[in-house]
Amino acid sequence: MTIPVNPDRFLKDLHDLRRFGASGVGKGVVRPAYSEADIAARDWLAGRMKAADLSVQVDPMGSVFGLCEGPSLLLGSHSDSQPEGGWLDGALGVIAALEVARAAREAGGPPVSCVSFQDEEGRFGVTTGSAAWSGALARDRLDSLVDPQGVTLPQARAAMGDRLGDWLDPARFTGFLEMHIEQGPVMDTSGEAVGVVEAIVGIRDMVITFEGQQNHAGTTPMALRKDAFQALSAFNALLNDRLRNVVTPATVWTIGHVTLLPNAHSIVPGKVKFSMQWRDGDAGRLDRMEAIIRETAQEVAATRGLEMSTGPMLGIAPVAMDAGFRAALSEAAEAEVPGRWRVMPSGALHDASNMARMMPAAMVFVPSIGGISHDFAEDTDEADLVTGLKVLAGAVTRIAG
């Protein structure tokens, strides 16, 4: 049967979710995992699930499930945001999932459950909520995770109090589908409306620390300094040079968070802690990059007389999407927007990466205006949002009938 999704109801819920943590700049949101806004949004979402006659269960990480009875497909994404996030990254997939589950239930269609995973945006790691559920992140590591401000995961989770429940048995779900914005420029440039994801890149992420000697910025001769900022700067230049030999145009690496200590005009900085993240579709290349990163950091520290240390590494392996689910999405896309869709990889991480470890999983993308995401300016044309919803519903029909 065709699942009679309601585009107006879907768009209204999507805009209602945006009010939680609204940044006041464009449609942007500030809704990091376990913040007041995030928890309020999860409570609102639980209410919408109950109103749709789904039973709500929250797992030990704070991922919120809206369940129907018996085995079902699971649809969803995440409702936490980056520290400066867009209104669609994650939220779109959560509300599309809610709408398809709700419409299917009302019409006596196939059983569909929905979920908003917690901390996909990695306040405590990489897609933390779904990684912990799938085992990609060992559960005995959870208590040792710390955010960039020094808050531990157990401290942050405590804010969800007695909302937290037990892990769900993945065996109750027959597969996972996630709708998401592309977060890149490909479809916006080509004019296509839908992307069917073939594979999701792998990621590795760790913190590197250089520790030198804090000193007076007026009296310490340049040749005698053990300057942590200069070490980071030299490391970055050397690393970019060396990685060039092993990467492809699709490989990316980012130093996105830096803490320079003590961070004052007239003090030679004694310490720098920074995030080092790299992504590629090939696990062997991720290994080779890791070796170069570690060697280069070691070498720069040794040459300049600083100490170098690395924190625990987090990672998610590259993963292919399920062939049958991809075919269902492709058929649904062709039916909805003939010739205006493509098959493409995902350079962003998604909860679907972890779900693919436990059950068949696949993803559908809609375009991002200007290719902008992880920014308040992130947006997508309403017509594309609705097209994506219909393709998702069409794929559910083809998979679960």
The answer to whether 324 touches 331, Cβ cutoff 8 Å, is no
| CA distance linking residue 329 with residue 351, whole number of Å | 18
Q: Is residue 265 exposed (0-12), middle (13-18) or buried (19+ Cβ within 10 Å)?
A: exposed
180 labeled binding residue: yes
Region of residue 2 (left: phi > 0; alpha: psi -120 to 50; beta: else): beta
Residues β-bridged to residue 29: 22, 85
Going from the C-alpha of 354 to that of each of 129, 257, 376, 396, the distances in angstroms are: 9, 24, 27, 20
Which residue ranges make up the site for Mn ion (CB under 5 A)? 89-90
Of 117-125, 229-237, 260-268, 378-386, the window that binds ligand HGY (rule: CB under 6 A) is: 117-125
Q: Do the annotations mark residue 15 as ligand-binding?
A: no
Residue 89 in marked binding region: yes
Segment interacting with ligand HGY, rule: CB under 6 A, options 3-11, 91-99, 119-127, 222-230 = 119-127
| Shortest Cβ 75–Mn ion spacing (Å) | 14
Our CB check for ligand HGY shows the closer of 102 and 279 to be 279
Amino acid, single-letter form, for residue 367: P
| Selected binder of ligand HGY within 38, 121, 178, 188 (CB under 6 A) | 121
State how far the Cα of 130 lies from the Cα of 117, in Å rounded to an integer.
6
Closest contact distance (angstroms) between CB of 17 and ligand HGY is 17
Considering only CA atoms, which of 260, 255, 290, 297 is closest in space to residue 276? Answer: 255
Which of ligand HGY, Mn ion, none has residue 184 at its interface (CB below 5 to 8 Å by kind)? none
Which three-class secondary structure state does DSSP give residue 115?
strand
By C-beta, is 123 or 226 nearer to ligand HGY? 123
Q: Which of 186, 348, 386, 389 binds ligand HGY (CB under 6 A)?
A: 348
18/105 with CB nearer Mn ion: 18
**Rounded to an integer, what distance in angstroms lies between the CA atom of residue 318 and that of residue 322?**
13
Q: Does 349 bind ligand HGY (CB under 6 A)?
A: yes
Does position 391 interact with ligand HGY (CB under 6 A)? The reply is no
Q: Measured from the CB atom, is 87 or 210 closer to ligand HGY?
A: 87
Q: Which residues are annotated as a binding site for Zn(2+)?
A: 78, 89, 121, 180, 374
Residues near ligand HGY, by CB under 6 A = 120-122, 348-349
